């Protein structure tokens, strides 16, 4: 019990973004180099405080996505990852951050962002490697985000968020291989994916210029949760570090 005069404490609310995408065959992450204290010179996740009292959390996440990564709302998958708000995580005061996981399709340009010229894509293994200086508790957030993506690949259609609006089966396979860090059998993967209800739907034939037989094209189906699931398996690749 507390006295009637007691008023609850207030905190600063921020959003942080773990933005994942595929570049080549490796999983990448957007990081921005901090130009001011604290953690000046270290790398941090894109993010920031709520603009004002009326701004929703989802809206703030989308705004940062646009400002710092140049990604429009319709382009990316966005979902909540968790809250990081223990006292002491930010030397500037009591800051509570709502971390989000964002998945972007393959992007040609390094970063089209406006706010942060110093933003750039980094291989996830490299960011998580020893010696890479990450600000605040963002290393933990990244680990949690990547693990969430890995887990959701099994039971949800999240993988299609890494692809363009239409894609081939082998492009989809590359997503699984990069995120899980495994190598999969293309033939078994092909049938496995086809067996899942409403995961992918045919979208005409391809005319990709690549060598070999042209692949059929598909787009994401309406189904969000996958049944049967795409179970994680296959042989893990050597070291997460030495991946090319």
Partner DNA sequence: GTAATAGTGTCTATGAGACAATATCCG
Partner DNA sequence: CGGATATTGTCTCATAGACACTATTAC
Nearest distance from C-beta of residue 193 to DNA, angstroms: 10
Distance CA(3)–CA(135), nearest Å, equals: 39
Instruction: Select from its own copies, DNA, none the partner in contact with residue 55, using the beta carbon and a kind-dependent cut-off of 5 to 8 Å.
Output: its own copies
Nearest distance from C-beta of residue 109 to DNA, angstroms: 25
Instruction: Select from its own copies, DNA, none the partner in contact with residue 98, using the beta carbon and a kind-dependent cut-off of 5 to 8 Å.
Output: its own copies
Per-position b or e across 79-110, b if 16+ CB within 10 A of its CB: eebeebbeeeebeeeebebbbbbbbbbbbeee
User: Which CB, 75 or 168, lies closer to DNA?
Assistant: 168
Query: Contact with its own copies (CB under 8 A): which of 35, 56, 91, 186?
Result: 56
Distance CA(110)–CA(187), nearest Å, equals: 33
CA trace torsion 172, 178, 182, 187 (10° rounding): 20
Instruction: Select from its own copies, DNA, none the partner in contact with residue 110, using the beta carbon and a kind-dependent cut-off of 5 to 8 Å.
Output: none
Q: Does 231 bind DNA (CB under 7 A)?
A: yes
Q: How far is CA 49 from CA 60, 71, 204, in A?
A: 8, 18, 44
Instruction: Select from DNA, its own copies, none the partner in contact with residue 56, using the beta carbon and a kind-dependent cut-off of 5 to 8 Å.
Output: its own copies
Q: Does 36 bind DNA (CB under 7 A)?
A: no
Instruction: Using only the alpha carbons of the chain, give its radius of gyration.
Output: 20
Residues 106-135 that bind its own copies (CB under 8 A): 115
Given the rule CB under 8 A, which residues bind its own copies?
A: 1-2, 8-14, 49-58, 80, 82-83, 85-87, 94, 96, 98, 115
């Amino acid at each position: 019990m507390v006295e009637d005069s007691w008023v609850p404490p207030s905190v600063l609310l921020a959003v942080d973004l773990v933005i994942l995408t595929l570049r080549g065959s490796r999983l990448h992450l957007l990081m921005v180099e901090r130009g001011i204290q604290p953690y000046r010179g270290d790398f941090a996740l894109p993010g920031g405080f709520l603009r004002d009292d009326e701004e929703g959390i989802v809206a703030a996440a989308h705004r940062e996505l646009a400002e710092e990564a140049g990604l429009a709302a319709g382009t990316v998958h966005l979902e909540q990852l968790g809250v990081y708000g223990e006292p002491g995580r930010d030397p500037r005061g009591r800051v509570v951050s709502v971390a989000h996981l964002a998945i972007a399709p393959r992007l040609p340009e390094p970063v089209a962002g406006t706010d942060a010229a110093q933003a750039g894509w980094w291989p996830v293994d490299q960011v998580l490697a020893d010696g890479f200086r990450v600000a605040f508790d963002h290393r933990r957030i990244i680990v949690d985000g990547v693990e969430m993506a890995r887990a959701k690949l099994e039971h949800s259609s999240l993988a299609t968020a890494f692809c363009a609006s239409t894609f081939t089966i082998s492009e989809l396979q590359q997503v699984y291989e990069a995120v899980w860090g495994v190598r999969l059998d293309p033939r078994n993967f092909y049938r496995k994916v086809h067996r899942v209800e409403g995961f992918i739907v045919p979208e005409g034939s391809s005319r990709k210029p690549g060598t070999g037989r042209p692949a059929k094209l598909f787009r994401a189906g309406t189904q969000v949760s996958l049944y049967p699931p795409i179970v994680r398996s296959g042989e893990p690749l050597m070291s997460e570090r030495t991946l090319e």
